[in-house]
Structure 1
Amino acid sequence: MSTDTGVTTGAAGAAAAGERLLEVEHLTVKFPTADGLVNAVTDLSYGVARGKTLGIVGESGSGKSVSSMAVLGLHDPRRTRIEGSIRVDGQEVIGLSEAKLRRIRGNSAAMIFQDALASLHPFYRVGKQLSEAYAAHHPKASARDARRKAIEMLDLVGIPQPDRRVDDFPHQFSGGMRQRAMIAMGLINDPSLLIADEPTTALDVTVQAQILDLLGDLQREFDSAIIIITHDLGVIAEMADEVLVMYAGRAVEYGATRELLTHPEMPYTWGLLSSVPDVSGDVDARLLPIPGNPPSLLDPPSGCSFHPRCVHRDKVPGDLCTTTIPDLSPGGRGPGHLKRCHLADPERIYATEILPEIAPDLADGAPAAPAAAPTNKEA
C-alpha cells in the first residue's frame, strides 16, 4: 500500500494483513454544516494487531475521537459523509446496517468514553447497565446469569464488595470507580478491540496509574488490541507499542513508541514534546508552547496544514510548505517511521536545535549529528 496516506507499511506492516484485528484504510469523515463542510478526518490509514496497543495523540480537534467513533459506526449517517474502509476482525464496518453494527459494538469492539459520569445513565443502577450490555449479545442468558456476570466484571476491575456495589447508582461511585465500571462494561462481552478515549481524564495521578495498570493487565488476560486516545505523552510512553500523531484530521507521524519519542521527525511532534514540563529541569524554565492555533477544518490551509504554525518552514526551499501537502513517507529512521514533512534532514534539526532546549541532559549525551557528505570539490 502507498505510504503517502497511511501507516500500513514498514514496522506497521510487520504483521500480515490477516493478523490485524483492525484495518482502517483511506478513511475520510466530513460533516456538512450551515457554515460549510467540516473536513474532520482526511485520508487516514492505520492498523492494530491483536495484543498490541496503538496510541493516538494530538490536540483537540485533530480527528482522534472522530476516527475512532467511525470504527464503531457511531456517526449519524444522515449527517456524516464517510469514505474509505474500516475492517474489524475482517468485517467491513462502513455501509453496515444499524442492526449489524449493534452486533459489532460491545462484542467485537467496544469503547471507553472519557466522561464516565455522562456515559452511565444516572437513573439506572450500575449493575443493571452492565447486565443489559451482556444480555444484548447473550439473548439466551437469564437475568440471574447477567447479574452474576456484572458482579464478576466489577470484581475483575477492582471494585470493592462488587456483590453490594452492583446495586449502586453511578453518582454513588467515585470518579475512579466509575471509570472502572466503564471498563467493565466495555469488556463484559470479551471484545477483541478496546478503544479507550482519554480514559484517565479528570482522575488524580494515583488513580490514573491504577487505570492504566488495569488496562494492561486486562489486555494480557484477554489478548485484546487497544487504541488509547490521549493528549498525555506520558500515558503514550507507558502504554503504547506504536504511536500515531494526528493534526488537522491527518496522520502526520507514525512509529514505534520509543523511536518516535526519542527521534521525532515532524515539527508538530517536536512541539508536543516541547510542551511537556521537565520535572528534573530548572524550576524557572518556561514551557515552549506551539505558536498559533489549530486551523479551521472548514477551510484548512493550503499545503502542509501545520505550516502557519511551523517555525521551521523557512528551512524548506521554495514554497513547498504552503502549496504542496507532503506525503506520509519513510523518514531517516527507516521504513517503519513515517512523517508528513518537507524537511530534508529533520533528525539533524531536532538534535541540534530542539533537544538542547527541551532536554539539555539528553542532548549532552547524544551522539553528534552526522557530518554532511563532502562535495566533489572537497573530495
Structure 2
Amino acid sequence: MTAAAHDLMTVASLTVDYRQQGQWHSVIRDLSLAVRRGEILGLAGESGCGKSTLASVLLGERRGERRLRAGSVQFDGIDLSTLRARELRRLRGVRLALVPQNGGASLTPTLRIGSLFAETLRAHRPHMNKAELAAEARRQLSQVGLPDPTGALARFPHQFSGGQQQRIALALALCRMPDLLILDEPTTGQDAMTRRGIIDLLIRLRLSSRMSMLYVSHDLATLSEICDRIAIMHAGEIVEIGQMEDVLLRPRHPYTRALVASIPRLEAPPDPALLPASRRTPERITA
C-alpha cells in the first residue's frame, strides 16, 4: 500500500506472530490499512480476531513474545520500527494516544486522579500553574460524564467503578489532544446515557479538532453512529473495508454479511420463546 497525502497512519502488508510453547503462530496476516487525517475509522470483528493486537502494534508497542515478521507501520511518514524506545514514548505521549479496553489498568494505582492529570498535562502544557491544571482536569472529567469532578481529583483509581475508570482513562487521553486516538472498546460497561454522551463527545472533538480516530469494537451498531469508514477483520485479516453506509447496506464478504445480520433491529418482532415468562402471550386453552 502506498501512503497517500491524506493518510495519517498507514499499515502495509503487516504480519504479526506470537510465540506459544516455543512455536510462532500468526495472529495478523498480510494486513493493509490506512487511517485518514480527520476521519473516524471503525475496526470490527469477533473477539480473538486480532483487533487489540493491531491497536497495540499501531502504538509501536514491542513485546518479547511478539514479532513483526513482515510489513510496516508508518505514522505521518515515520516508520515506527525505526524509532528508539525514547522516541516512541515521546510520540505516544503527544501525537498518539490509546484508550484501552480495561481503562483501570492504564491508571497508576498509587497516584490520585488529580496527580495523574497534572503529570499528563504538564508534559504538554508546562506553562499551566496548579490551579489551571486542576481546572483543566475538572473540565475533562466533566466532558466524559464523571460525577463530582472536583471530588474525583482527590481519590485513587481503585475508589471508582470499572466504568468510571474507563471514563477517566478516556479523559486522560483526550487532554493530550493527540493527532490519532485509538479507542479499544471505549464504551464497554457503560450505561446507555454515558455511552451516548461519549459518542457525542468524540463526534464533537473530531469536528472541532480534526482528530483522527481508530474505533475498535465488535458492536456494529455503535460504529455505525460515529464512523466514516469501517474495516471488517476476521481471523487476522481485513476482509472488507469501505464507507460505513456501503458496508452495512451492501456487504460483499460472507463474514460481513453475517455480522450485519446479527445487528438487533427494532422492527424485527421478538421470538416469543426468548421472552421472559411474564411477557409471553398466554397460550389459548380450547375446550
Question: What TM-score do you get using the length of structure 1 for normalisation?
Answer: 0.66
2:175: which partner in 1? Answer: 188
- Are the equivalent residues in 1 in contact too, given 2:145–2:194 (CA < 8 A)? no
C-alpha spacing 1:203/1:246, structure 2 compared with 1 (3 Å): same
1:244 aligns with 2:231: yes
CA deviation map 1:275-316 (0-9, x unaligned): 2333321211799xxxxxxxxxxxxxxxxxxxxxxxxxxxxx
C-alpha spacing 1:236/1:286, structure 2 compared with 1 (3 Å): farther
CA deviation map 1:239-280 (0-9, x unaligned): 111010011111111111001001001111111122233332
Shift of 1:139: 6.1
Secondary structure at the residue paired with 1:105?
helix
2:149: which partner in 1? Answer: 162
2:67: which partner in 1? Answer: 81
> Residues 209-224 of structure 1: matches in 2 within 5 Å?
209-224=196-211
User: RMSD value over aligned CA atoms?
Assistant: 2.4
Distance 1:277 1:157 in 2: 27
2:93: which partner in 1? Answer: 106
1:69 aligns with 2:56: yes
C-alpha spacing 1:146/1:29, structure 2 compared with 1 (3 Å): farther
Q: Which deviates more from structure 2 when the two are superposed, residues 253-262 or residues 184-193?
A: 184-193
For 1:202, give the aligned amino acid.
Answer: G
**Structure 1 unmatched ranges of 5 or more:** 2-7, 9-15, 288-379
Shift of 1:145: 5.4
Question: What TM-score do you get using the length of structure 2 for normalisation?
Answer: 0.86
Number of residue-to-residue matches in the alignment: 273
> Residues 25-44 of structure 1: matches in 2 within 5 Å?
25-34=12-21, 36-44=23-31
Distance 1:286 1:233 in 2: 26
For 2:260, give the aligned amino acid.
Answer: L
Shift of 1:112: 0.5
1:200 aligns with 2:182: no
Distance 1:171 1:161 in 2: 16
Shift of 1:25: 1.2
- Are the equivalent residues in 1 in contact too, given 2:145–2:197 (CA < 8 A)? no
- Are the equivalent residues in 1 in contact too, given 2:104–2:169 (CA < 8 A)? no
**Structure 2 unmatched ranges of 5 or more:** 275-287
Give the % identical residues: 38
- Are the equivalent residues in 1 in contact too, given 2:30–2:237 (CA < 8 A)? yes
Shift of 1:170: 2.2
Secondary structure at the residue paired with 2:83?
coil
1:273 aligns with 2:260: yes
Structure 1 runs, 4 residues or longer, greater than 6 Å off: none
Q: Could you say which structure has the greater relative contact order, defined with CA pairs below 8 angstroms and 6 or more residues apart? A: 2
2:111 to 124, 129, 146: 124
Distance 1:50 1:248 in 2: 27
- Are the equivalent residues in 1 in contact too, given 2:40–2:214 (CA < 8 A)? yes
